[in-house]
Amino acid sequence: MAMGDFQSSKITNAEKIARVRLIRTNKIGPATFQRLLQTHGSAVSAIDFLETNQPELAVYSYEKAISEFDALHQMDGDFLFLGDATYPERLVAIADAPPVLAIKGKLELASARII
């Protein structure tokens, strides 16, 4: 499955939190992140699997992920998620695109024409 094939129109808040937790977990990079989503169908299910079957990974905590969301929102920032409509198209096209981006500023500039 190519990175662009993971496009979806809506990612729930629970899934967003789980995606931040998953990508922030040690030893989980973009390729492993995508394999876990393909295997388990969602980050929520992948987190459940890892916490049950691989506790030595020490999955990034829910509390820390919520703190990241809060801190980013206090700075007028937000997260973008691979597979969501707001994720920059240019990044979707690359191999191992970052599954989660923290942004601050004008999102529309990400799709602006580059000279």
Any residues with CB less than 8 A from the CB of 42 and at least 6 apart, and which? 15, 18
User: E strands within 1-115?
Assistant: 77-81, 100-104
User: How far apart are alpha carbons 19 and 54 in whole angstroms?
Assistant: 17
Amino acid at 92: V
Q: What is the pLDDT of residues 49-107, one digit of tens each?
A: 999 999 999 999 999 999 999 999 999 999 999 988 888 888 899 989 999 999 998 77
pLDDT tens, 9-45?
489 999 999 999 999 999 999 999 999 999 999 999 9
**The tokens of 51 are what?**
């916490």
DSSP classification of residue 33: H
